């Protein structure tokens, strides 16, 4: 039997690279997607050195043609996609009040965190339907409406929008056998999370990998955090 196929966006470093590593460790053939082709190649070489199967793939989630080209490459090689992890993300308004954040910053955040995830999911939907696969949107507790406070307006609202995209696409794709869930990795030590974060990328990847590898009876339209625990919206 052929290996299941996964694609992780923003997989050249941070949580995305660790998700790719854990999926490859479970026998997935992983497309390690990065907007910088050389960085994706280097990351794939790191996994090869660990004896894992990973294919580098150039994919800038803000560019429609890049998403279509990535879809064509995976379709030509496998004709299906068992797991899509929309991990690529940016945090551009650290330390800026919502009342002062330039709208351009909000727009640039949405380009990656919202439109990017939607664009890539739309591009790969036919391949995901063929595999009756899983979509994982890497969200954040910062996108939770119930606990929202001041600041991080661009980032928080982008993840809240991503959560709603998760719900709508989960409902639309349920009859086609595809599950769509949102994951909060925890506060994780990466370039985005910073050096003071308590969690490792290995820990942060766990709920994401669980959702990426769900079987047909797994949940859909949910928001899950560390320990695979359901979170309030």
Ligand X SMILES: NC(=O)c1ccc[n+]([C@@H]2O[C@H](COP(=O)([O-])OP(=O)(O)OC[C@H]3O[C@@H](n4cnc5c(N)ncnc54)[C@H](OP(=O)(O)O)[C@@H]3O)[C@@H](O)[C@H]2O)c1
Catalytic residue numbers, as ranges: 155, 159
User: Phi and psi for 203 in degrees, rounded to 5?
Assistant: -70, -40
What residues from 132 to 191 belong to the interface with ligand X (CB under 6 A)?
Answer: 138, 140, 184-185, 187-188, 190-191
From the list 23-31, 60-68, 73-81, 172-180, the region that binds ligand X by CB under 6 A is 60-68
The set of residues, in sequence order, having a beta carbon less than 8 Å from that of 74 and lying 6+ positions away, is 5, 7, 31, 57, 81, 124, 127
| 62 belongs to the binding site for ligand X (CB under 6 A) | yes
Taking a C-beta distance cutoff of 8 angstroms, is the pair 30, 53 a contact? yes
In the complex, the smallest distance separating the C-beta of residue 79 from ligand X, rounded to whole angstroms, is: 24
User: Phi and psi for 209 in degrees, rounded to 5?
Assistant: -65, -40
In the complex, the smallest distance separating the C-beta of residue 200 from ligand X, rounded to whole angstroms, is: 11
Among 20, 58, 84, 90, contact with ligand X (rule: CB under 6 A) = 90
Among 20, 21, 82, 87, contact with ligand X (rule: CB under 6 A) = 87
Taking a C-beta distance cutoff of 8 angstroms, is the pair 31, 72 a contact? no
Listed in sequence order, the DSSP H helices in the chain are: 14-25, 37-49, 64-78, 103-110, 117-131, 153-173, 201-212
In the complex, the smallest distance separating the C-beta of residue 37 from ligand X, rounded to whole angstroms, is: 10
Among 21, 31, 32, 35, contact with ligand X (rule: CB under 6 A) = 35
The torsion defined by the Cα of 11, 61, 38 and 68, in degrees rounded to 10, comes to 110
In the complex, the smallest distance separating the C-beta of residue 192 from ligand X, rounded to whole angstroms, is: 3
The footprint of ligand X (CB under 6 A) covers 9-10, 12-16, 34-36, 39, 60-62, 87-90, 112, 116, 138, 140, 184-185, 187-188, 190-193, 197
């Amino acid at each position: 039997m052929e290996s299941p196929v996964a694609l992780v966006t923003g997989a050249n470093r941070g949580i995305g690279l660790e998700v790719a590593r854990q999926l490859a460790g479970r026998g997935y053939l992983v497309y390690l997607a990065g907007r910088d082709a050389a960085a994706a190649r280097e990351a794939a070489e790191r996994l090869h050195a660990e004896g894992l199967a990973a294919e580098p793939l150039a994919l800038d989630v803000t560019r429609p043609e890049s998403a279509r080209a990535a879809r064509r490459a995976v379709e030509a090689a496998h004709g299906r996609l068992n797991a899509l992890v929309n991990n690529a993300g940016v945090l551009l308004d650290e330390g800026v009040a919502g009342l002062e954040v330039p709208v351009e910053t909000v727009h640039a955040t949405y380009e990656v965190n919202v439109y990017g995830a939607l664009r890539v999911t739309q591009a790969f939907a036919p391949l995901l339907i063929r595999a009756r696969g899983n979509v994982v949107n890497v969200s954040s507790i910062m996108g939770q409406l119930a606990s929202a406070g001041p600041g991080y307006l661009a980032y928080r609202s982008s993840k809240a929008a991503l959560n709603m995209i998760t719900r709508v696409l989960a409902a639309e794709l349920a009859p086609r056998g595809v599950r769509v869930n949102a994951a909060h990795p925890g506060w994780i030590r990466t370039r985005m999370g910073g050096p003071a974060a308590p969690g490792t990328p290995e820990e942060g990847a766990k709920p994401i990998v669980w959702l990426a590898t769900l079987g047909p009876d797994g949940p859909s339209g949910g928001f899950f955090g560390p320990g695979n625990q359901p979170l309030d919206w």
